Structure 1
Amino acid sequence: MKTALVTGATSGIGAATARALLEAGWQVIVTGRRAERLAPFADQFGERVHVAAFDVRDDAAVDAALAALPTHFRSIDLLVNNAGLALGTAPAQKASLEQWRTMIETNVTALVSITHRLLPELIARKGAIINVASVAGSYPYPGGNVYGGTKAFVQQFTLNLRADLHGTGVRVSAIDPGMVETEFTLVRTGGDRDASDTLYAGAEPMTADDIAATIVWIATLPPHLNINRVELMPVSQSFAGFQVARGQ
Protein backbone atom coordinates (compact mmCIF):
# COMPACT_ATOMS: atom_id res chain seq x y z
CA MET A 1 0.00 0.00 0.00
CA LYS A 2 1.37 3.40 -0.97
CA THR A 3 1.61 6.29 1.48
CA ALA A 4 0.87 9.97 0.83
CA LEU A 5 1.41 13.03 3.00
CA VAL A 6 -1.04 15.85 2.28
CA THR A 7 -0.50 19.31 3.77
CA GLY A 8 -3.43 21.60 4.44
CA ALA A 9 -5.87 18.69 4.65
CA THR A 10 -8.31 20.42 7.00
CA SER A 11 -10.48 21.84 4.22
CA GLY A 12 -10.89 22.49 0.53
CA ILE A 13 -8.52 20.91 -1.96
CA GLY A 14 -6.37 19.29 0.72
CA ALA A 15 -9.28 17.56 2.44
CA ALA A 16 -10.74 16.43 -0.89
CA THR A 17 -7.35 15.11 -2.02
CA ALA A 18 -6.80 13.15 1.18
CA ARG A 19 -10.25 11.61 0.88
CA ALA A 20 -9.78 10.77 -2.82
CA LEU A 21 -6.45 9.07 -2.14
CA LEU A 22 -7.94 7.06 0.70
CA GLU A 23 -10.85 6.01 -1.48
CA ALA A 24 -8.30 4.95 -4.12
CA GLY A 25 -6.65 2.61 -1.62
CA TRP A 26 -3.74 4.71 -0.32
CA GLN A 27 -2.85 5.30 3.28
CA VAL A 28 -2.55 9.00 4.07
CA ILE A 29 -0.85 11.25 6.58
CA VAL A 30 -3.28 14.15 6.93
CA THR A 31 -1.78 17.38 8.22
CA GLY A 32 -3.02 20.82 9.12
CA ARG A 33 -3.41 23.20 12.05
CA ARG A 34 -6.95 22.21 13.07
CA ALA A 35 -6.84 18.75 14.63
CA GLU A 36 -10.62 18.62 15.03
CA ARG A 37 -11.00 18.77 11.25
CA LEU A 38 -8.51 15.96 10.69
CA ALA A 39 -9.95 13.55 13.24
CA PRO A 40 -12.94 12.48 11.06
CA PHE A 41 -10.52 10.97 8.53
CA ALA A 42 -9.26 8.53 11.16
CA ASP A 43 -12.83 7.86 12.31
CA GLN A 44 -13.85 6.87 8.78
CA PHE A 45 -10.74 5.22 7.39
CA GLY A 46 -9.16 3.84 10.56
CA GLU A 47 -5.62 2.50 10.39
CA ARG A 48 -5.01 3.86 6.88
CA VAL A 49 -4.92 7.40 8.29
CA HIS A 50 -2.35 9.08 10.49
CA VAL A 51 -3.34 12.49 11.84
CA ALA A 52 -0.51 14.99 12.31
CA ALA A 53 -1.72 18.40 13.48
CA PHE A 54 0.85 21.16 13.05
CA ASP A 55 1.41 24.54 11.43
CA VAL A 56 3.62 24.07 8.36
CA ARG A 57 5.40 27.32 9.27
CA ASP A 58 6.62 25.84 12.58
CA ASP A 59 9.86 23.98 11.83
CA ALA A 60 10.06 22.36 15.25
CA ALA A 61 6.48 21.11 15.02
CA VAL A 62 7.08 19.70 11.53
CA ASP A 63 10.21 17.89 12.70
CA ALA A 64 8.40 16.49 15.74
CA ALA A 65 5.47 15.29 13.65
CA LEU A 66 7.71 13.54 11.13
CA ALA A 67 9.78 11.97 13.91
CA ALA A 68 6.58 10.66 15.52
CA LEU A 69 5.29 8.90 12.38
CA PRO A 70 4.43 5.25 13.03
CA THR A 71 6.76 2.82 11.31
CA HIS A 72 4.27 1.84 8.62
CA PHE A 73 3.74 5.51 7.64
CA ARG A 74 7.41 6.41 7.28
CA SER A 75 7.83 5.16 3.70
CA ILE A 76 6.29 8.14 1.94
CA ASP A 77 5.59 7.72 -1.78
CA LEU A 78 3.79 11.00 -2.44
CA LEU A 79 4.01 14.52 -1.05
CA VAL A 80 1.09 16.80 -1.90
CA ASN A 81 2.11 20.36 -1.05
CA ASN A 82 -1.33 21.90 -0.78
CA ALA A 83 -1.10 24.13 2.31
CA GLY A 84 -1.32 27.76 1.28
CA LEU A 85 -3.45 30.85 1.44
CA ALA A 86 -4.18 34.29 0.08
CA LEU A 87 -4.68 37.21 2.45
CA GLY A 88 -6.13 40.55 1.47
CA THR A 89 -7.32 42.03 -1.80
CA ALA A 90 -5.83 45.51 -1.50
CA PRO A 91 -3.36 46.94 -4.04
CA ALA A 92 0.29 46.69 -3.03
CA GLN A 93 0.50 50.29 -1.82
CA LYS A 94 -2.31 49.65 0.67
CA ALA A 95 -1.57 46.03 1.54
CA SER A 96 -0.58 44.68 4.93
CA LEU A 97 3.10 43.76 5.19
CA GLU A 98 2.18 41.24 7.88
CA GLN A 99 -0.19 39.51 5.47
CA TRP A 100 2.51 39.50 2.79
CA ARG A 101 4.94 37.83 5.18
CA THR A 102 2.35 35.23 6.21
CA MET A 103 1.74 34.30 2.58
CA ILE A 104 5.47 34.00 1.88
CA GLU A 105 6.08 31.96 5.03
CA THR A 106 3.21 29.59 4.22
CA ASN A 107 3.19 29.35 0.44
CA VAL A 108 6.95 29.45 -0.11
CA THR A 109 9.11 28.88 2.97
CA ALA A 110 7.00 26.13 4.52
CA LEU A 111 6.55 24.37 1.18
CA VAL A 112 10.27 24.22 0.44
CA SER A 113 11.06 23.23 4.03
CA ILE A 114 8.84 20.16 4.15
CA THR A 115 9.90 19.21 0.63
CA HIS A 116 13.56 19.37 1.63
CA ARG A 117 12.90 17.19 4.68
CA LEU A 118 11.15 14.49 2.64
CA LEU A 119 13.41 14.42 -0.42
CA PRO A 120 15.67 11.59 0.84
CA GLU A 121 12.68 9.32 1.43
CA LEU A 122 10.98 10.29 -1.82
CA ILE A 123 14.19 9.57 -3.74
CA ALA A 124 14.59 6.22 -1.99
CA ARG A 125 10.99 5.33 -2.88
CA LYS A 126 11.11 6.79 -6.42
CA GLY A 127 8.08 8.74 -5.31
CA ALA A 128 6.28 11.86 -6.45
CA ILE A 129 5.76 15.48 -5.46
CA ILE A 130 2.64 17.39 -6.49
CA ASN A 131 2.69 21.09 -5.73
CA VAL A 132 -0.56 23.05 -5.74
CA ALA A 133 0.13 26.39 -7.40
CA SER A 134 -2.46 28.64 -9.07
CA VAL A 135 -3.28 30.41 -12.30
CA ALA A 136 -2.43 33.52 -10.25
CA GLY A 137 1.20 32.53 -10.71
CA SER A 138 0.85 32.99 -14.46
CA TYR A 139 -1.72 35.76 -14.91
CA PRO A 140 -1.49 38.96 -12.83
CA TYR A 141 -4.56 40.77 -11.57
CA PRO A 142 -5.16 43.77 -9.30
CA GLY A 143 -4.69 42.77 -5.67
CA GLY A 144 -2.83 39.59 -6.56
CA ASN A 145 0.59 41.06 -5.69
CA VAL A 146 2.38 38.75 -3.21
CA TYR A 147 -0.08 35.86 -3.52
CA GLY A 148 0.56 35.69 -7.26
CA GLY A 149 4.29 36.00 -6.62
CA THR A 150 4.27 33.06 -4.21
CA LYS A 151 2.42 30.86 -6.68
CA ALA A 152 4.82 31.82 -9.49
CA PHE A 153 7.57 30.65 -7.14
CA VAL A 154 5.79 27.32 -6.67
CA GLN A 155 5.55 26.86 -10.43
CA GLN A 156 9.25 27.61 -10.97
CA PHE A 157 10.37 25.60 -7.93
CA THR A 158 8.49 22.62 -9.34
CA LEU A 159 10.28 22.86 -12.69
CA ASN A 160 13.67 23.26 -11.02
CA LEU A 161 13.02 20.32 -8.69
CA ARG A 162 12.20 18.29 -11.78
CA ALA A 163 15.55 19.28 -13.29
CA ASP A 164 17.52 18.52 -10.12
CA LEU A 165 15.81 15.17 -9.56
CA HIS A 166 16.56 14.01 -13.10
CA GLY A 167 17.64 10.39 -13.00
CA THR A 168 16.24 9.66 -9.54
CA GLY A 169 12.89 8.35 -10.73
CA VAL A 170 11.04 10.98 -8.68
CA ARG A 171 8.14 12.60 -10.50
CA VAL A 172 7.42 16.29 -9.87
CA SER A 173 4.27 18.09 -10.96
CA ALA A 174 2.50 21.41 -10.46
CA ILE A 175 -1.24 21.85 -10.65
CA ASP A 176 -2.49 25.38 -11.32
CA PRO A 177 -6.21 25.75 -10.53
CA GLY A 178 -8.32 28.71 -11.41
CA MET A 179 -11.56 29.46 -9.56
CA VAL A 180 -12.43 26.73 -7.06
CA GLU A 181 -15.25 27.15 -4.57
CA THR A 182 -13.68 26.46 -1.17
CA GLU A 183 -12.96 28.48 1.97
CA PHE A 184 -10.27 30.33 -0.02
CA THR A 185 -12.16 33.63 -0.33
CA LEU A 186 -13.44 33.48 3.25
CA VAL A 187 -9.83 33.26 4.42
CA ARG A 188 -8.68 35.95 2.03
CA THR A 189 -11.35 38.42 3.14
CA GLY A 190 -11.23 37.66 6.85
CA GLY A 191 -14.52 35.76 6.87
CA ASP A 192 -16.63 37.94 4.58
CA ARG A 193 -19.34 35.48 3.52
CA ASP A 194 -21.01 38.00 1.20
CA ALA A 195 -17.76 38.54 -0.71
CA SER A 196 -17.31 34.79 -1.07
CA ASP A 197 -20.89 34.19 -2.20
CA THR A 198 -20.69 37.07 -4.67
CA LEU A 199 -17.48 35.76 -6.24
CA TYR A 200 -18.89 32.31 -6.94
CA ALA A 201 -22.53 33.22 -7.67
CA GLY A 202 -23.61 32.01 -11.09
CA ALA A 203 -20.04 31.17 -12.10
CA GLU A 204 -20.18 27.36 -11.89
CA PRO A 205 -16.69 27.26 -10.37
CA MET A 206 -14.64 24.12 -10.05
CA THR A 207 -14.92 22.11 -6.84
CA ALA A 208 -12.28 20.76 -4.51
CA ASP A 209 -13.24 17.30 -5.72
CA ASP A 210 -12.44 18.31 -9.31
CA ILE A 211 -8.90 19.25 -8.31
CA ALA A 212 -8.50 16.21 -6.09
CA ALA A 213 -9.45 13.92 -8.96
CA THR A 214 -6.76 15.54 -11.11
CA ILE A 215 -4.17 15.11 -8.35
CA VAL A 216 -5.04 11.42 -7.94
CA TRP A 217 -4.85 10.97 -11.72
CA ILE A 218 -1.33 12.43 -11.74
CA ALA A 219 -0.28 10.35 -8.73
CA THR A 220 -1.48 7.08 -10.23
CA LEU A 221 -0.02 7.39 -13.70
CA PRO A 222 2.58 4.79 -14.70
CA PRO A 223 5.99 5.58 -13.16
CA HIS A 224 7.58 6.43 -16.52
CA LEU A 225 5.18 9.36 -17.10
CA ASN A 226 5.62 12.83 -15.59
CA ILE A 227 3.02 15.58 -15.80
CA ASN A 228 5.09 18.74 -15.55
CA ARG A 229 2.21 21.15 -15.13
CA VAL A 230 -1.58 21.16 -15.40
CA GLU A 231 -3.66 24.34 -15.60
CA LEU A 232 -7.41 24.12 -14.95
CA MET A 233 -10.19 26.71 -15.05
CA PRO A 234 -13.96 26.46 -15.04
CA VAL A 235 -15.44 27.13 -18.45
CA SER A 236 -16.87 30.37 -17.06
CA GLN A 237 -13.40 31.77 -16.31
CA SER A 238 -10.86 33.02 -18.84
CA PHE A 239 -7.91 35.40 -18.96
CA ALA A 240 -8.13 38.92 -17.57
CA GLY A 241 -7.97 41.87 -19.96
CA PHE A 242 -5.30 44.55 -19.89
CA GLN A 243 -5.95 47.70 -17.90
CA VAL A 244 -5.56 51.17 -19.38
CA ALA A 245 -5.48 54.28 -17.19
CA ARG A 246 -6.41 57.44 -19.14
CA GLY A 247 -6.04 61.13 -18.53
CA GLN A 248 -2.97 60.99 -16.31
Structure 2
Amino acid sequence: MKTAVITGASSGIGEGCARLLARSGWKVFLMARRRERLENIAREINGHAIILDVTKAQEVEIGLVTHCDLLVNCAGGALGLDAVRQANADDWTSMFNTNVLGTLRMTQLLLPRLIASQGCIINITSTAALGGYEGGGGYCAAKSAQRALTQSLRLEMKGVPVRITEVLPGMVHTPEFSLNRFCGDAERAKAVYENVDRPLSAEDIAQVVATVAELPAHVNVDEIVVRPVAQRAQHALFRGSLGWREAPPVAHSPVNEGER
Protein backbone atom coordinates (compact mmCIF):
# COMPACT_ATOMS: atom_id res chain seq x y z
CA MET A 1 0.00 0.00 0.00
CA LYS A 2 1.43 3.39 -1.01
CA THR A 3 1.54 6.14 1.61
CA ALA A 4 0.45 9.75 1.07
CA VAL A 5 0.91 12.77 3.33
CA ILE A 6 -1.53 15.63 2.74
CA THR A 7 -1.30 19.00 4.44
CA GLY A 8 -4.30 21.28 4.81
CA ALA A 9 -6.39 18.12 4.94
CA SER A 10 -9.12 19.42 7.27
CA SER A 11 -11.01 21.10 4.41
CA GLY A 12 -11.02 22.06 0.76
CA ILE A 13 -8.65 20.55 -1.75
CA GLY A 14 -6.64 18.85 0.98
CA GLU A 15 -9.70 17.04 2.28
CA GLY A 16 -10.75 16.16 -1.26
CA CYS A 17 -7.33 14.64 -1.96
CA ALA A 18 -7.37 12.67 1.28
CA ARG A 19 -10.79 11.19 0.58
CA LEU A 20 -10.06 10.27 -3.03
CA LEU A 21 -6.65 8.75 -2.38
CA ALA A 22 -8.04 6.73 0.52
CA ARG A 23 -10.80 5.39 -1.74
CA SER A 24 -8.10 4.49 -4.28
CA GLY A 25 -6.25 2.32 -1.78
CA TRP A 26 -3.62 4.69 -0.41
CA LYS A 27 -2.60 4.86 3.23
CA VAL A 28 -3.24 8.52 4.05
CA PHE A 29 -1.76 10.75 6.73
CA LEU A 30 -3.86 13.90 7.11
CA MET A 31 -2.17 16.98 8.56
CA ALA A 32 -3.78 20.23 9.72
CA ARG A 33 -4.36 22.33 12.84
CA ARG A 34 -8.05 21.66 13.53
CA ARG A 35 -8.05 18.55 15.70
CA GLU A 36 -11.74 17.61 15.85
CA ARG A 37 -12.41 18.12 12.16
CA LEU A 38 -9.22 16.37 11.08
CA GLU A 39 -9.78 13.38 13.34
CA ASN A 40 -13.37 13.02 12.12
CA ILE A 41 -12.26 12.96 8.48
CA ALA A 42 -9.43 10.53 9.26
CA ARG A 43 -11.87 8.23 11.01
CA GLU A 44 -14.29 8.32 8.06
CA ILE A 45 -11.61 7.34 5.54
CA ASN A 46 -9.57 5.06 7.80
CA GLY A 47 -6.66 7.50 7.65
CA HIS A 48 -4.26 8.85 10.25
CA ALA A 49 -4.60 12.36 11.68
CA ILE A 50 -1.52 14.35 12.70
CA ILE A 51 -2.31 17.68 14.30
CA LEU A 52 0.32 20.26 13.41
CA ASP A 53 0.97 23.76 12.13
CA VAL A 54 2.93 23.46 8.88
CA THR A 55 4.68 26.76 9.58
CA LYS A 56 6.24 25.27 12.73
CA ALA A 57 6.36 21.55 11.89
CA GLN A 58 9.15 19.48 13.40
CA GLU A 59 10.46 15.96 12.85
CA VAL A 60 9.10 14.75 16.20
CA GLU A 61 5.56 15.52 15.03
CA ILE A 62 5.76 13.32 11.95
CA GLY A 63 7.46 10.33 13.53
CA LEU A 64 4.53 8.07 12.64
CA VAL A 65 5.30 8.62 8.96
CA THR A 66 8.08 6.10 8.49
CA HIS A 67 7.54 5.84 4.74
CA CYS A 68 6.22 8.37 2.21
CA ASP A 69 5.45 7.89 -1.48
CA LEU A 70 3.54 11.12 -2.00
CA LEU A 71 3.53 14.55 -0.38
CA VAL A 72 0.69 16.88 -1.34
CA ASN A 73 1.28 20.41 -0.03
CA CYS A 74 -2.26 21.84 0.13
CA ALA A 75 -2.03 24.05 3.23
CA GLY A 76 -2.47 27.66 2.22
CA GLY A 77 -5.04 30.36 1.79
CA ALA A 78 -5.68 34.04 1.13
CA LEU A 79 -6.43 36.94 3.45
CA GLY A 80 -8.06 40.16 2.30
CA LEU A 81 -8.58 41.77 -1.08
CA ASP A 82 -6.96 45.12 -0.36
CA ALA A 83 -4.95 47.26 -2.74
CA VAL A 84 -1.21 47.21 -2.17
CA ARG A 85 -1.20 50.75 -0.79
CA GLN A 86 -3.75 49.70 1.86
CA ALA A 87 -2.51 46.16 2.47
CA ASN A 88 -2.22 44.69 5.95
CA ALA A 89 1.38 43.55 6.39
CA ASP A 90 0.33 41.00 9.03
CA ASP A 91 -1.98 39.35 6.48
CA TRP A 92 0.87 39.19 3.98
CA THR A 93 3.14 37.62 6.62
CA SER A 94 0.50 35.00 7.43
CA MET A 95 0.01 34.15 3.75
CA PHE A 96 3.75 33.78 3.19
CA ASN A 97 4.15 31.67 6.31
CA THR A 98 1.43 29.21 5.36
CA ASN A 99 1.75 29.03 1.58
CA VAL A 100 5.52 29.30 1.25
CA LEU A 101 7.27 28.45 4.50
CA GLY A 102 4.76 25.70 5.28
CA THR A 103 5.56 24.09 1.93
CA LEU A 104 9.28 24.54 2.62
CA ARG A 105 9.16 22.96 6.07
CA MET A 106 7.06 19.96 5.08
CA THR A 107 9.19 19.33 1.99
CA GLN A 108 12.41 19.50 4.00
CA LEU A 109 11.06 17.14 6.66
CA LEU A 110 9.74 14.51 4.25
CA LEU A 111 12.27 14.73 1.44
CA PRO A 112 14.55 11.96 2.84
CA ARG A 113 11.56 9.58 2.94
CA LEU A 114 10.47 10.61 -0.57
CA ILE A 115 13.98 10.03 -1.94
CA ALA A 116 14.07 6.61 -0.29
CA SER A 117 10.73 5.66 -1.89
CA GLN A 118 11.46 7.38 -5.22
CA GLY A 119 8.24 9.22 -4.62
CA CYS A 120 6.33 12.30 -5.74
CA ILE A 121 5.77 15.85 -4.45
CA ILE A 122 2.70 17.74 -5.61
CA ASN A 123 2.45 21.40 -4.62
CA ILE A 124 -0.95 23.05 -4.94
CA THR A 125 -0.27 26.65 -5.91
CA SER A 126 -2.77 28.74 -7.91
CA THR A 127 -3.27 30.54 -11.18
CA ALA A 128 -2.66 33.56 -8.94
CA ALA A 129 1.01 32.59 -9.28
CA LEU A 130 0.88 33.41 -12.99
CA GLY A 131 0.17 37.12 -12.63
CA GLY A 132 -1.22 39.78 -10.36
CA TYR A 133 -4.78 41.04 -10.13
CA GLU A 134 -6.33 43.99 -8.34
CA GLY A 135 -6.54 43.34 -4.61
CA GLY A 136 -4.56 40.12 -4.92
CA GLY A 137 -1.06 41.43 -4.34
CA GLY A 138 -0.35 39.47 -1.18
CA TYR A 139 -1.88 36.20 -2.32
CA CYS A 140 -0.34 36.43 -5.79
CA ALA A 141 3.05 37.18 -4.26
CA ALA A 142 2.81 34.21 -1.87
CA LYS A 143 1.70 31.80 -4.58
CA SER A 144 4.38 33.12 -6.93
CA ALA A 145 6.96 32.40 -4.24
CA GLN A 146 5.56 28.89 -3.75
CA ARG A 147 5.78 28.39 -7.50
CA ALA A 148 9.41 29.57 -7.53
CA LEU A 149 10.19 27.18 -4.67
CA THR A 150 8.70 24.30 -6.67
CA GLN A 151 10.64 25.17 -9.81
CA SER A 152 13.92 25.56 -7.94
CA LEU A 153 13.43 22.28 -6.11
CA ARG A 154 12.75 20.45 -9.37
CA LEU A 155 16.03 21.71 -10.83
CA GLU A 156 17.98 21.02 -7.65
CA MET A 157 16.72 17.42 -7.65
CA LYS A 158 18.19 16.76 -11.08
CA GLY A 159 19.60 13.24 -11.05
CA VAL A 160 17.33 12.11 -8.18
CA PRO A 161 14.35 9.86 -9.04
CA VAL A 162 11.69 11.99 -7.33
CA ARG A 163 8.83 13.53 -9.31
CA ILE A 164 7.89 17.16 -8.58
CA THR A 165 4.63 18.61 -9.90
CA GLU A 166 2.89 21.95 -9.51
CA VAL A 167 -0.90 22.05 -9.83
CA LEU A 168 -2.29 25.54 -10.46
CA PRO A 169 -6.07 25.65 -9.89
CA GLY A 170 -8.22 28.51 -11.10
CA MET A 171 -11.65 29.12 -9.59
CA VAL A 172 -12.53 26.33 -7.18
CA HIS A 173 -15.84 26.63 -5.35
CA THR A 174 -14.92 25.76 -1.79
CA PRO A 175 -16.67 28.41 0.32
CA GLU A 176 -14.42 28.23 3.39
CA PHE A 177 -11.53 29.74 1.43
CA SER A 178 -13.47 32.88 0.55
CA LEU A 179 -15.05 33.08 4.00
CA ASN A 180 -11.56 33.13 5.50
CA ARG A 181 -10.39 35.65 2.94
CA PHE A 182 -13.22 38.02 3.82
CA CYS A 183 -13.12 37.42 7.58
CA GLY A 184 -16.40 35.50 7.64
CA ASP A 185 -18.37 37.90 5.41
CA ALA A 186 -20.72 35.38 3.80
CA GLU A 187 -22.15 37.84 1.28
CA ARG A 188 -18.74 38.78 -0.12
CA ALA A 189 -17.73 35.14 -0.21
CA LYS A 190 -20.90 34.19 -2.09
CA ALA A 191 -20.41 36.99 -4.61
CA VAL A 192 -17.12 35.47 -5.79
CA TYR A 193 -19.03 32.61 -7.44
CA GLU A 194 -22.21 34.48 -8.36
CA ASN A 195 -23.63 33.23 -11.70
CA VAL A 196 -20.51 31.21 -12.52
CA ASP A 197 -21.68 28.09 -14.36
CA ARG A 198 -19.89 25.11 -12.77
CA PRO A 199 -16.76 26.36 -11.10
CA LEU A 200 -14.33 23.61 -10.14
CA SER A 201 -14.79 21.57 -6.99
CA ALA A 202 -12.18 20.30 -4.57
CA GLU A 203 -12.90 16.82 -5.92
CA ASP A 204 -11.97 17.97 -9.44
CA ILE A 205 -8.50 19.03 -8.27
CA ALA A 206 -8.19 15.85 -6.22
CA GLN A 207 -8.75 13.83 -9.40
CA VAL A 208 -5.90 15.71 -11.08
CA VAL A 209 -3.64 15.02 -8.08
CA ALA A 210 -4.55 11.33 -8.05
CA THR A 211 -3.94 11.03 -11.80
CA VAL A 212 -0.47 12.57 -11.50
CA ALA A 213 0.36 10.45 -8.46
CA GLU A 214 -0.59 7.23 -10.25
CA LEU A 215 1.53 7.88 -13.35
CA PRO A 216 4.54 5.61 -13.97
CA ALA A 217 7.52 6.50 -11.79
CA HIS A 218 9.54 7.86 -14.73
CA VAL A 219 6.80 10.27 -15.91
CA ASN A 220 6.95 13.80 -14.46
CA VAL A 221 4.27 16.40 -15.08
CA ASP A 222 6.09 19.66 -14.35
CA GLU A 223 2.98 21.78 -14.03
CA ILE A 224 -0.69 21.70 -14.88
CA VAL A 225 -3.13 24.63 -14.98
CA VAL A 226 -6.73 23.64 -14.19
CA ARG A 227 -9.63 26.04 -14.73
CA PRO A 228 -13.38 25.68 -15.18
CA VAL A 229 -14.66 26.23 -18.71
CA ALA A 230 -16.23 29.49 -17.49
CA GLN A 231 -12.79 30.90 -16.67
CA ARG A 232 -10.50 31.38 -19.64
CA ALA A 233 -7.86 33.38 -17.78
CA GLN A 234 -7.40 35.06 -14.43
CA HIS A 235 -9.06 38.19 -15.82
CA ALA A 236 -11.54 36.44 -18.16
CA LEU A 237 -14.40 34.94 -16.14
CA PHE A 238 -17.81 34.42 -17.77
CA ARG A 239 -20.85 34.82 -15.54
CA GLY A 240 -24.02 33.28 -16.86
CA SER A 241 -25.27 30.03 -18.33
CA LEU A 242 -22.94 28.11 -20.62
CA GLY A 243 -25.84 26.09 -21.97
CA TRP A 244 -24.60 22.67 -20.94
CA ARG A 245 -26.83 20.02 -22.54
CA GLU A 246 -26.26 17.25 -20.03
CA ALA A 247 -27.50 17.27 -16.45
CA PRO A 248 -25.27 18.98 -13.88
CA PRO A 249 -22.76 16.64 -12.23
CA VAL A 250 -23.69 14.99 -8.95
CA ALA A 251 -22.47 17.08 -6.04
CA HIS A 252 -19.16 15.92 -4.63
CA SER A 253 -18.59 15.14 -0.96
CA PRO A 254 -18.77 18.33 1.14
CA VAL A 255 -15.29 19.80 1.19
CA ASN A 256 -15.02 23.49 1.83
CA GLU A 257 -12.37 25.97 0.96
CA GLY A 258 -12.54 28.60 -1.91
CA GLU A 259 -11.42 30.21 -5.05
CA ARG A 260 -7.76 29.38 -5.47
Same fold per superposition (TM over 0.5): yes
Does the Cα contact within 8 Å between 2:8 and 2:75 map onto a contact in 1? yes
Contact 1:6 1:31 in 2 (8 A): yes
Report what 2:258 is aligned to.
none
Structure 1 distance, partners of 2:9, 2:235, is: 34
CA deviation profile, 1:105-154 (whole Å, cap 9, x unmatched): 11111211110111111111100000000000002100111210111122
Is the 2:19–2:45 Cα contact (8 Å) retained in structure 1?
no
SS of 1:102's partner is: helix
What residue identity is the alignment partner of 1:42?
Answer: A
The answer for unaligned runs of 5 or more in structure 2 is 237-260
Which amino acid is the alignment partner of residue 82 of structure 1? C
The more displaced of 194-203 and 3-12 is 194-203
Higher share in helix? 1
Q: How many residues align?
A: 234
Q: Which amino acid aligns with 2:2?
A: K
Report SS of the residue matched to 1:38.
Answer: helix
In 1, are the aligned partners of 2:9 and 2:32 still within 8 Å (CA)?
A: yes
Quote the Cα distance in structure 1 between the aligned partners of 2:95 and 2:211.
28
Could you tell me which of 63, 66, 72 is aligned with 2:62?
66
**CA distance in 1: counterparts of 2:44 and 2:134, whole angstroms:** 42
How does 1:202-217 map onto structure 2 within 5 Å? 202-203=195-196, 204-217=198-211
Identity of aligned residues (%): 39
Q: 1:9-57: CA deviations, max 9, x gaps?
A: 00000000000100010001101010111122332233xx111011111
How far apart in 1 are the matches of 2:130 and 2:70?
25
8 Å CA contact 1:139–1:239 kept in 2: the answer is no
Matching of residue 159 in structure 1 with residue 157 in structure 2: no
- Rounded to whole Å, the distance in 1 between the matches of 2:156 and 2:15 is 30
Tell me how far apart the structure 2 counterparts of residues 55 and 230 of structure 1 sit (CA, whole Å).
27
Is 2:136 the partner of 1:144?
A: yes
Q: What is the Cα deviation at residue 240 of structure 1?
A: 4.8
Moved over 3 A (4+): none
CA distance in structure 2 between the aligned counterparts of 1:113 and 1:241, rounded to whole angstroms = 32
Q: 1:31 matched to which residue of 2?
A: 31
Where does 1:5-154 land on structure 2 (aligned, <5 Å)?
Answer: 5-46=5-46, 49-59=47-57, 62-67=58-63, 69=64, 73-154=65-146
Residue equivalent to 1:187: 180
Matched residue SS, 1:238: strand
Matched, 1:199 2:192: yes
Q: Over aligned residue pairs, what C-alpha RMSD do you find?
A: 1.4
**Selected match of 1:236 from 230, 238, 245:** 230
Aligned AA (2:18): A
SS at match of 1:104: helix
SS state at 1:176 partner: strand
**Cα offset for 1:157?**
1.6
1:9 and 1:31 in contact (8 A); partners too: yes
Please report the TM-score for the alignment, with normalisation by the length of structure 1. 0.91
Q: Indicate yes or no: 2:163 matched with 1:171.
A: yes
